[in-house]
Structure 1
Amino acid sequence: MPRTVIVGLDGSPESHAAAEWASREAKLRGLALKLVNVWEPAPTPVAQEPLLGAGTQQHWSEQIPREAAEGLRLRHPGVEITAEQVYGRPGEILARLAEDAALLVLGSRGLSGFGGFLVGSVGLAVVAHAERPVVLVRAGEQAADEHVMDPSGIPSAATPFRPVVLGMDPDSPDDSLLAFAFEEAVRRVTALRVVHGWNLPPYYAYGLSADLGLHEEIVRQQTARLTETLHPWRQKYADVEVVEESRSGSPANQLVDASHEASLVVVGRRVRRSPLGAHIGSVTHAVLHHATAPVAVVAHG
C-alpha cells in the first residue's frame, strides 16, 4: 500500500501553512495527502459550559479538515486529498499515524520575520517519538519562499528551488538521512548543500594559538572526511550538484545561517530506546527553533 503524506491540522495559521507545504510535497512525490484533525475533548467542567459544550467543540473541529481539503483541492489539482478527525491526545496520535506515512508535516508559529520557529510541546513530542520523517513548517510560509529570487529581486514559484541543506557528521553518517536529503534535492531539481560544523577539542586551543599549520591540518582532515563520506552518494546521484562545507564552529549556528538560502533543511535524530525517554539532540533542537526554512527531522539508528 503506497504511503501518504500526513499533515496535522488544528485550524491555526501555522497548520494551514503546513497543509499548503504538504500539498506541494505530495505532488512532488506523486502521493496522496491526508489531513488529520486530532480532537481532544475538553475536561468535563469546561465541556458542560453552555457555549462551549462538547457537541459544539466537536462540530467546529470536524469542519476544519473538511473545509481545508476543499480549498486545497482547488489550489492543488491532481493531488488526492482526504480528511479525517481522530480522537485522543494530539502528540500520541500524530506520532502513531506517522508510522504509516511517507512524511508527517506539522505547523509551527514563527517568532518573527527571521526569528525561526516556536515549536510547541505537541510538535516536540511528535519529533522526539516519530520514527518516520517529520517536517516543521512556519506560519506564513509561502511557495515562493522555497525559490530563488527572480531578476526583479522577488522570490517566485516560477524560479528554481533554493538548495536543500543537509546537516551531517561524517564520523557517524546514516544512509537514511543521506538518502532523504538527496531525494529531496532530486525532486526539486536543485543542489544539495552539505554543512559540517565541528568544534575543536579544548586541548587544541594552546597548540593552535602557536601553530597555524596545525589548524590547517585539522581543517584538511575534516574536509577530507566529509568528501570521502559523500563520494559514493555523488556517484549514485550524479545529476545532483553537491556543495560541501566543512568549517570549525557551532554546527547549529552554521545550519541556521544556511537556512536563510534553503528550500528545506534536513537534520537527523538518533533513535534511543531507553528509560530516560526520547531525545531530539541539541543541534536538531536548536535548528528547529531558529531555522527560517522548513525543517525535516529524519530519525535513524
Structure 2
Amino acid sequence: MVRTVVAGLDGSPESRAAAEWAAREAKLRGLPMKIVHVWEPVPEPMAQAPLLGAETQQHWSERIPREAAEGIRLRHPGVEVTVEQRTGGSADALTKAAEDAELLVLGSRGLSGFGGFLVGSVGQSVVAHTERPVVLVRAGEQAADEHQTDPAGIPSAATPYRPVVVGLDAASPDDTVIEFAFEAAARRGTGLRVIHGWNLPPYYVYGLSADLELHDEISRQQAVALTEALRPWRQKYPNVEVTEESRSGSPAYQLVDAARESSLVVVGRRIRRSPFGAHIGPVTHAVLHHATAPVAVVAHN
C-alpha cells in the first residue's frame, strides 16, 4: 500500500499553511497527498440554532476541504490530492488517520509577539499518541521561508534550501530520528546541522570551576561520541554536508536558536503507550512551542 502525506484541515490559517507545506513535501517525496477534515458533531440543542443548521454544517464538512484540494491541485501540479472526511473527536480522528500515513502535517498558531508556535491540545495529543512522524507548521509559513536569501537578501523558492536541523543525544542516538533528518536534507539538496546539547553531571560542576582541563576533556568526549554516532550515516549519505555542533547547555535553547536559519527542525519523541497524558519530553515540548521553522517530531522506541 502506498503511504500518503496527510494534512489535517479545519479551515484555519494555520491548517491551510500546513496543507500547503504537506503538498510541497508530497511533491519532494513523489507521494500522493490526503486532506483530512474532521467534523465534530454539534450537540443537539446547539444544532437547532439557526446559525448552525444544515447549510453551515455542509460548508464546514464539504466546501472547505473541497476548495482547499482544488487550490492545491492548481498550485502544485503533479501532486495527487484526495479528501477524506472523518467524524468524531479531532485528536482521535487525526491520530487514526496517521496510522497509514508517511507523515502527518498539522497547523499551529504563531505566538503573538514572539517567534514560534502555540500548540493546542489537539496538536499535543496527536504528537503524543501517534507513532508516525508529525510535522507542525505555523500560520503564515510560506515556501520562501524554507530557502536561503538571494543576493538582494530576499528569501526565494528559487534559492537553495536552508539546512535541516536535528537534535541528537549522542549517548543514545536513535536510527529512526537520524534517518528521517538525513533523508529530509538529501531530499532538499541541503546540509544537515546536528545539534548535541549536553549538561554536566552535578558532581562535576564545582570541580570544573577550578579545573578547565577537566571541562575540555568532557567536551572532547562528547564531541567524539557525536562523531562516532554519525559516522555510518555520513557513509550512507555522502552527498549530505554535515555540521556537528556539540556544546554544553540547554539542548532546547540551542535547537530553537538554530531553527531561525533552518528549513526544518527534527526532534525525537520516545514512544510511551500509556493512554493517559501527553508525554512528548521537555526538549521536544520547548522546541514545538518556540522554534520559528516547521518542526518534525519523530516517534521512536
The TM-score normalised by the length of structure 1 is 0.98
Name the Cα RMSD after superposition.
1.1
Q: Aligned-pair distance for 1:272?
A: 1.3
Q: Aligned-pair distance for 1:204?
A: 1.1
Tell me what 1:77 maps to: 77
Tell me what 2:11 maps to: 11
Q: Distance in 1 between matches of 2:169 and 2:231?
A: 14
Q: Aligned-pair distance for 1:276?
A: 4.9
Give the direction of change, closer, same or farther, for the CA distance of 1:101–1:179 in structure 2 (3 Å limit): same
Q: Aligned-pair distance for 1:24?
A: 0.3
Q: Distance in 2 between matches of 1:223 and 1:83?
A: 47
Q: Distance in 1 between matches of 2:10 and 2:287?
A: 24
1:87 equivalenced with 2:59 (yes/no): no
Unpaired stretches in structure 2, ≥5 consecutive residues: none
Name the SS of the counterpart of 1:210 in structure 2: coil
Tell me what 1:59 maps to: 58
Name the SS of the counterpart of 1:91 in structure 2: helix
- Which structure 1 residue ranges, 4+ long, deviate > 4 Å from structure 2? 275-278
Name the SS of the counterpart of 1:67 in structure 2: helix
Q: Aligned-pair distance for 1:113?
A: 6.4
Q: Distance in 2 between matches of 1:208 and 1:104?
A: 45
Tell me what 1:36 maps to: 36
Which is worse superposed, 87-96 or 109-118?
A: 109-118
Q: Per-residue displacement from partner, 1:134-179 (whole Å, max 9, x unpaired)?
A: 0000000010000001000011110000000000101111111111
Tell me what 2:46 maps to: 46
Q: Aligned-pair distance for 1:287?
A: 0.3
Unpaired stretches in structure 1, ≥5 consecutive residues: none
Residue pair 1:114, 1:292 contacting (<8 A) in 2 also: no
Tell me what 1:135 maps to: 135
Q: Aligned-pair distance for 1:278?
A: 4.7
Q: Per-residue displacement from partner, 1:195-214 (whole Å, max 9, x unpaired)?
A: 00011112111101001101
Q: Distance in 2 between matches of 1:43 and 1:184?
A: 43
Q: Distance in 2 between matches of 1:272 and 1:10?
A: 28
Q: Distance in 2 between matches of 1:164 and 1:101?
A: 22
Q: Per-residue displacement from partner, 1:175-229 (whole Å, max 9, x unpaired)?
A: 1111110000010000010000011112111101001101100100000000000
Q: How many residues align?
A: 300
Residue pair 2:129, 2:273 contacting (<8 A) in 1 also: no
